[in-house]
Chains A and B, each alone.
Chain A
Amino acid sequence: MAKIAIVDDNKEQRETNTIRLRLFLKELNSKIEVSDIFPFEKFSDYYGYIDSENIIALVIDEKLYNDSQLDRAPVEYNGSDLVGYIRERYKYIPIFTLTNFPEDQILQDKINEYDYIFSKKDFSIKQVEIINRACQRYLEENQKELSQVDDLTRKIASGKGEANDIEMLKALQIKLSIPFSSDLKDREEWLIEYEKQITELEELRFKLEKKLNK
């Protein structure tokens, strides 16, 4: 199921805002779930998290470097440092900041990276409506494009793909940040690999039969 991530170093704030987001999403009849995390020590951990947890939007606190958790020391970055990193790979994912200091100058300098800047003081249903709408749009767009990718991949894999199909697929892969699969690039290589595996299977069958026949 698709989720919105809340990233905040302050446990109490994080929990309260998670409860709020859940309550309001429910009120808006949204099926989207909420996941909350203490900031990761390393930026690179966010990519894996977004992919594996099916994150479709992020709500990030700005001053991430204050608090610690039982097993975790405070981190070294703030929200506006993180947003740029996420944008490198997920160009269109909705990202919001939820902060006590919406006027903060560093945050304002990065305003272009965010979809919206929210103040913690007035975080209520209106704000959640904005978040919800952005999530829906992102989901629809992505689903449309993902199914297009699926169709094109099948077509090319079956050898029916034309030159412009391959171009189109490449473009979608870039847009959706899907890593290129090397086997699609060269069908022959794929077939050799495929046949190699069939050969292995046959060899296995042969061994099994031999054993049974003993």
Chain B
Amino acid sequence: MVRTENELKEKLQVLLKESNPDYRAIFKLTRDLSKLDKKYQHFFVDAKTLIHLGRDSIKDHTTALIELVKNSYDADSKNVDVDVYCRKGGNFIRVADNGFGMTKDDLVNGWLHIGFSNKRSSKRSKTGRRKTGEKGIGRISADRLGGNLELITKTEQDTLIGLIVNWDAFDVEGKDISDIDVELFYPTSINVPNKDGKPSLTGTEIKITNLRQNWSVSNIENLYYELSALTPPFNEVKDFQIELRNDIAPSFSKRVNSEFFKAAEIELDALYEGKGSDILYTIKDKYSKKVEIQEIKWQQLLSKINKAEDQEVSEDLKCGPISLKLLFFLREAASVQGTAFKLSELREFLDNNAGIKIYRDNIAVKPYGFPNSQFGYDWLELAERKAKDPAGIGRGAESYSVTPNQLIGAIFISRDNNIDLSDSAAREGLVESESFYDLRNFVLGSINMLETHRANIYPLIEKSRESKKTSSSKEAEQIQMQLFSVKEDLESIKTEIESTNTKSSTSDVTRPIEISIEKVDVITKKVDKTISELLNWNRVLSGLATIGISSAVFGHETEGSISLFTNATDNARLLIRSDPPDLVLAISEIDKALKHSKKVAAWGAYALTRVQREKRSKKNINIKKTIDAVVKELKPAFEASSIKIETEGEFLVSKTYQMDIESILINLLTNAYTACNLKPGVRRVVITIDREDTRVTQGYFFSVSDTGPGIAKEFQKRIFEPLFSTKTVSTGTSKSVGTGLGLTIVKSIVDDLSGNIKVDQDPELKGARFKIWLPKEK
């Protein structure tokens, strides 16, 4: 309805004269009047624009919620409650903080002023926090979360005030933004988190209802980790805590925390004060008790990462003062020992948080180090570096490098001290200036420092692992012990109840306990049976693997026998048929064929007898006899390679598994055979058996020595690692033909039998000598 100028003026005068003027109507009339101005006109904004602005500036609903939490941070709150309920618990999102709150003036002239942010004029909050948002549109992104927003706020000076926004009202065609009402109200209470244990006098509570979408478990998970990344995980900002509650993924209803950092293997701190070339390093690790403190020059650090060669290096780092914290993790069970969480939790945490992030004024700068960001996650290109040189830690400090998913790092900068590290206008992240490259190289150099440290402590790590490892049979014992103690505990509870309770109720209470005791009994027996079955299987599998390995090595001999058998037989046939027949030669060929047919048969028997059932049970066996029998079986193969094999020592009897002794011996003999063949000249293998007692245990040993080239010192520690092999196709090539399983099997059997294995050089034969010590059982 278009009115004339006079009509408008009249109506306005009437409204102004009323005792309780309708300001909304007055506002609309004056706006219509101002459109009649012959000289000055204004833009009008369609209500829908607000919705577009909010929706387009925010990626998804998680980010929208994070924006609201950021506002709480900027409001100097110590605690923020974040509630997301969209199932049985209700249908709302709530963000409540104990920050400084807003006055009515703040609300009307600030909060409702789109595009306005006081964060631009005052960059620091009252308590010195560097404010995070600047665009002044974070609040309208709340539209992404739900159709209705209710805000209640309280400052020290003002009374409680509230505001209601119905976002859907903006989502209509042809209305001016100012046509849509935002309702104020004056509540009597506010629910915000306590501050320092006491009810907070100030704060803001936002409740969003009529939710736009259902939150999934992974949404909540994502939210949790985004919230945990919002504030530094390094406890730098101790005064900011977020409590997440929801009815979608109950396991994430908890304080957003960073406990996981206790599981770090190595912790490195680097500090650059902003002037000069000195960088101060503090390195701690789980293994060596002391803290290492080092001062490194910038130039020195660059040379570590090969950056200093072709360019002049300035004295200072252009990026200004930085501090860096790096945490190095392993994704293995040992990492969580002594902490409150499980390995699966640590892994999940690493999957979500690994990466090196940049924190400006303690708030993360995206995309650096964010796992779900395509280019930002590995912005240091650590994965590419690792791919170029994948050497493991065992190869020494020179070439060892970490992978990006093992590191969690934080680089702390600030807007005011690191002016050159400014935001890029074109995209997420910082401008790639010289300052940025200095920062990058600083981080890369520090990672190198960490790698060197890890390589240096590697022997310590190895040692701690060795001592931690328990053999499977010992583990079985431990399980049985634990079950036994559960049973004992239950029994003592039962006795206690019986002695304290009155007779009538006793049986009611003790009956379930009796049932439990019976159950534990049954379980103990089952566990016992399962474990012994598994161990038996383990034994058979080791035996079978041993046959496989030895067959591959000694196979040449069998192959030769098979071809000789067929060819000699055929020769004999031809010699008899020829004119005149050569019977003498024919007979000698038949003899040869017979001899080799027996060899082939012997090999078949060798494989068949290896895993016989009676060899799998524990009983008294004559060690020397067992060894002699194996030697006799393998002798033809050794002799075919000109290897003289001999056994020295007395008969001795011990209660053990025959198959274990055989598997150990065959694996060692297979290795000795291969080693001997690597050298020309005299070839010998000597097996020695003897008694040897330690201070506490009676025992015996058998050793296998050969005339081969021996084992290089650098490999002596690694030969027991699975899949490590020194067997190459021939001298001078690096192609491995070994399976790398033989010695691993030997080691695991020896561990299981509570023995030990040593390797050195045989003083007489000059090749390797493996000595197996085992306790003598009766």
Are A and B bound to each other? yes
Residues of A within 8 A of B (CB): 10, 12-13, 16-17, 19-20, 23, 26, 63, 65-68, 73-76, 78, 81, 100-101, 105-106, 119-121, 123-124
Q: Could you give 20 example pairs across A and B, Cβ below 8 Å? A: A10-B560, A12-B564, A12-B568, A13-B564, A16-B589, A20-B567, A20-B571, A26-B578, A65-B677, A66-B640, A66-B642, A67-B642, A68-B642, A73-B642, A73-B681, A74-B681, A101-B556, A105-B735, A106-B729, A106-B733
* List of B residues within 8 angstroms of A65 by Cβ: 677, 680
Q: Smallest Cβ distance from A200 to chain B, in angstroms?
A: 50
Q: Is the CB of B567 within 8 A of A23?
A: no
Is B683 an interface residue when CB atoms closer than 8 A count as contact? yes
Contact of A16 among B568, B677, B682 (CB under 8 A): B568
Known: A26-B578, A74-B681. 17 other contacts (CB 8 A): A12-B592, A16-B567, A20-B567, A23-B574, A67-B642, A73-B682, A74-B641, A74-B642, A74-B680, A74-B683, A100-B556, A100-B559, A101-B556, A106-B730, A120-B564, A121-B562, A123-B563
Q: Smallest Cβ distance from A127 to chain B, in angstroms?
A: 11
Task: Using CB atoms, name the residue of chain A closest to B566.
Answer: A121
Is B585 an interface residue when CB atoms closer than 8 A count as contact? yes
* List of B residues within 8 angstroms of A75 by Cβ: 680
Is B570 an interface residue when CB atoms closer than 8 A count as contact? yes
Q: Smallest Cβ distance from A73 to chain B, in angstroms?
A: 5
Q: Is the CB of B640 within 8 A of A67?
A: yes
Q: Is the CB of B642 within 8 A of A16?
A: no
Q: Smallest Cβ distance from A171 to chain B, in angstroms?
A: 36
Q: Smallest Cβ distance from A15 to chain B, in angstroms?
A: 8
In whole angstroms, how far apart are the Cα atoms of A75 and B642 in the complex?
11
The proximity string for B residues 668-682 relative to A, scoring 1 for CB distances below 8 Å and 0 otherwise, is 000000000101111
In whole angstroms, how far apart are the Cα atoms of A3 and B642 in the complex?
29
Which of B563, B566, B571, B592 has the most chain A CB within a 10 Å cutoff?
B563
* List of A residues within 8 angstroms of B733 by Cβ: 106
In whole angstroms, how far apart are the Cα atoms of A121 and B575 in the complex?
19
Q: Size of chain B's interface in residues, with CB distance under 8 A?
A: 32
Q: Smallest Cβ distance from A119 to chain B, in angstroms?
A: 8
Q: Smallest Cβ distance from A118 to chain B, in angstroms?
A: 11
* List of B residues within 8 angstroms of A20 by Cβ: 567, 570-571, 574
Chain B, range 633-689, C-beta contacts under 8 Å to A: 640-642, 677, 679-683
Q: Smallest Cβ distance from B637 to chain A, in angstroms?
A: 10
* List of B residues within 8 angstroms of A106 by Cβ: 729-730, 733
Q: Smallest Cβ distance from A204 to chain B, in angstroms?
A: 52
5 closest A-B pairs (Cβ-Cβ)? A68-B642, A120-B563, A100-B559, A76-B680, A66-B641
Contact of B567 among A74, A78, A120 (CB under 8 A): A120
Q: How many A-B residue pairs have CB under 8 A?
A: 79
In whole angstroms, how far apart are the Cα atoms of A66 and B566 in the complex?
21
In whole angstroms, how far apart are the Cα atoms of A66 and B560 in the complex?
12
Q: Is the CB of B571 within 8 A of A73?
A: no
* List of B residues within 8 angstroms of A73 by Cβ: 642, 680-682
In whole angstroms, how far apart are the Cα atoms of A100 and B567 in the complex?
12
Chain B, range 538-590, C-beta contacts under 8 Å to A: 556, 559-560, 562-564, 566-568, 570-571, 574-575, 578, 585, 589
Given known contacts A73-B682, A75-B680, A19 and B640 CB-to-CB distance under 8 angstroms: no
In whole angstroms, how far apart are the Cα atoms of A73 and B681 in the complex?
5
Residues of B within 8 A of A (CB): 556, 559-560, 562-564, 566-568, 570-571, 574-575, 578, 585, 589, 592, 596, 640-642, 677, 679-683, 729-731, 733, 735
Q: Smallest Cβ distance from A106 to chain B, in angstroms?
A: 5
In whole angstroms, how far apart are the Cα atoms of A13 and B641 in the complex?
14
In whole angstroms, how far apart are the Cα atoms of A188 and B315 in the complex?
79
Q: Is the CB of B559 within 8 A of A19?
A: no
Q: Smallest Cβ distance from A38 to chain B, in angstroms?
A: 12
Q: Smallest Cβ distance from B463 to chain A, in angstroms?
A: 39
* List of A residues within 8 angstroms of B560 by Cβ: 10, 13, 100, 120
* List of A residues within 8 angstroms of B731 by Cβ: 76
Q: Is the CB of A123 within 8 A of B641?
A: no
Q: Smallest Cβ distance from B576 to chain A, in angstroms?
A: 11
* List of B residues within 8 angstroms of A26 by Cβ: 578
Q: Is the CB of B641 within 8 A of A101?
A: no
Q: Smallest Cβ distance from A5 to chain B, in angstroms?
A: 18
Q: Smallest Cβ distance from B172 to chain A, in angstroms?
A: 77
Given known contacts A66-B677, A73-B681, A100 and B563 CB-to-CB distance under 8 angstroms: yes
In whole angstroms, how far apart are the Cα atoms of A73 and B578 in the complex?
37
Task: Using CB atoms, name the residue of chain B closest to A66.
Answer: B641
Task: Using CB atoms, name the residue of chain A closest to B578.
Answer: A23
* List of B residues within 8 angstroms of A101 by Cβ: 556, 559
Given known contacts A66-B641, A66-B642, A16 and B564 CB-to-CB distance under 8 angstroms: yes
Given known contacts A19-B571, A73-B681, A67 and B589 CB-to-CB distance under 8 angstroms: no
Given known contacts A20-B570, A76-B680, A100-B559, A67 and B641 CB-to-CB distance under 8 angstroms: yes
* List of B residues within 8 angstroms of A68 by Cβ: 642
Contact of B575 among A13, A23, A105, A123 (CB under 8 A): A23
Given known contacts A101-B556, A105-B735, A23 and B571 CB-to-CB distance under 8 angstroms: yes
* List of B residues within 8 angstroms of A12 by Cβ: 564, 568, 592, 596
Task: Using CB atoms, name the residue of chain A closest to B595.
Answer: A12
* List of B residues within 8 angstroms of A121 by Cβ: 562-563, 566
* List of A residues within 8 angstroms of B570 by Cβ: 20, 124
In whole angstroms, how far apart are the Cα atoms of A67 and B677 in the complex?
10
In whole angstroms, how far apart are the Cα atoms of A100 and B683 in the complex?
23
In whole angstroms, how far apart are the Cα atoms of A36 and B409 in the complex?
71
* List of A residues within 8 angstroms of B589 by Cβ: 16, 19
In whole angstroms, how far apart are the Cα atoms of A125 and B362 in the complex?
85
Q: Smallest Cβ distance from A97 to chain B, in angstroms?
A: 14
* List of B residues within 8 angstroms of A124 by Cβ: 570
Q: Smallest Cβ distance from A99 to chain B, in angstroms?
A: 9
In whole angstroms, how far apart are the Cα atoms of A81 and B733 in the complex?
12
Q: Smallest Cβ distance from A36 to chain B, in angstroms?
A: 14
In whole angstroms, how far apart are the Cα atoms of A13 and B564 in the complex?
6
Which of B574, B578, B596 has the most chain A CB within a 10 Å cutoff?
B574
In whole angstroms, how far apart are the Cα atoms of A123 and B560 in the complex?
13
Task: Using CB atoms, name the residue of chain A closest to B569.
Answer: A16
Q: Smallest Cβ distance from A39 to chain B, in angstroms?
A: 10
Task: Using CB atoms, name the residue of chain A closest to B586.
Answer: A19
In whole angstroms, how far apart are the Cα atoms of A122 and B527 in the complex?
55
Q: Is the CB of A123 within 8 A of B578?
A: no
In whole angstroms, how far apart are the Cα atoms of A74 and B641 in the complex?
8
In whole angstroms, how far apart are the Cα atoms of A16 and B590 in the complex?
11
Q: Is the CB of A17 within 8 A of B730?
A: no
Q: Smallest Cβ distance from B731 to chain A, in angstroms?
A: 8
Task: Using CB atoms, name the residue of chain A closest to B732.
Answer: A81
Q: Smallest Cβ distance from B564 to chain A, in angstroms?
A: 6
* List of B residues within 8 angstroms of A23 by Cβ: 571, 574-575, 578
Q: Smallest Cβ distance from A25 to chain B, in angstroms?
A: 12
